Structure 1
Amino acid sequence: MVEKILTEYVNFIRYFETLLKIKYKQDINPCSFSPTFFKRVGTIEGIEYWFHGSGCTATKDGVIYAYDIGGDEIDFTQWKFSEFVRTHPQYQKLNYTPEFIEYELYQLISKGVLGWLIIEGAEGTSFGCIFKSYRVLLEAPYVYSIT
Structure 2
Amino acid sequence: MIKLDLRKVLQDYVSLIEDFKSQFSPDINEFEQKSSRNRSGNIGEFKYHFHGAGCRLEKEGIVCEFDFMPTNEYPIKFSIWKMSEFILTNKAYGIDKLEESELHEALHPLVEDRTLVKLVFGGVVWEIYQI
- For residue 10 of structure 2, what is the aligned residue in structure 1? 6
RMSD: 2.2
Shift of 1:101: 1.3
Please, which of 97, 110, 113 is the counterpart of residue 111 of structure 1? 113
More relative contact order, 1 or 2 (CA 8 Å, 6+ apart): 1
Shift of 1:118: 3.9
In structure 1, stretches of 5+ residues that fail to align are: 121-128, 137-147
Report the TM-score, using the length of structure 1 for normalisation.
Answer: 0.74
- For residue 127 of structure 2, what is the aligned residue in structure 1? 132
CA distance in 2, matches of 1:3, 1:18: 22
Query: After the TM superposition, which residues 1-147 of structure 1 pair with which residues of structure 2 at under 5 Å, given as runs?
Result: 1-22=5-26, 26-28=27-29, 30-36=31-37, 39-71=38-70, 73-93=75-95, 95-119=97-121, 131-136=126-131
Q: Which runs of 4+ in 1 moved over 4 A?
A: none
In structure 2, stretches of 5+ residues that fail to align are: none
Shift of 1:102: 1.0
Count of matched residue positions in the alignment of Structure 1 and Structure 2: 123
Shift of 1:65: 0.4
Kindly indicate whether the alpha-carbon contact (under 8 Å) linking 1:2 and 1:101 is maintained by their aligned counterparts in 2.
Answer: no
Report the TM-score, using the length of structure 2 for normalisation.
Answer: 0.82
Counterpart residue type for residue 54 of structure 1: A
Q: Select between 6-15 and 98-107 the one with higher mean Cα deviation.
A: 98-107
Kindly indicate whether the alpha-carbon contact (under 8 Å) linking 1:31 and 1:55 is maintained by their aligned counterparts in 2.
Answer: no
Kindly indicate whether the alpha-carbon contact (under 8 Å) linking 1:49 and 1:56 is maintained by their aligned counterparts in 2.
Answer: yes
Shift of 1:53: 0.5
Kindly indicate whether the alpha-carbon contact (under 8 Å) linking 1:57 and 1:64 is maintained by their aligned counterparts in 2.
Answer: yes
Identity %, equivalent residues: 27
